[in-house]
Amino acid sequence: MFKIPQTRPVSVVGPLGEALTLASLPPAGVNRWVIRRKAEVVAAIDGGLLTIDEACERYAISIEELVAWRRLVERAGMQGLRVTRLQHYRDLHERQMRY
For the domain that residue 69 is a member of, what is the CATH number?
1.10.10
Confidence check: pLDDT of 46 > 90: yes
> By three-state DSSP, how is residue 61 classified?
coil
3-state secondary structure 7-28: CCCCCEECCCCCEECCCCCCCC
In a domain, 3, yes or no: no
Predicted TM-score of the model (pTM)? 0.79
Q: What pLDDT is stored for residue 23 in this prediction?
A: 96
- How many structural domains are present in the chain? 1
In a domain, 94, yes or no: yes
In a domain, 28, yes or no: no
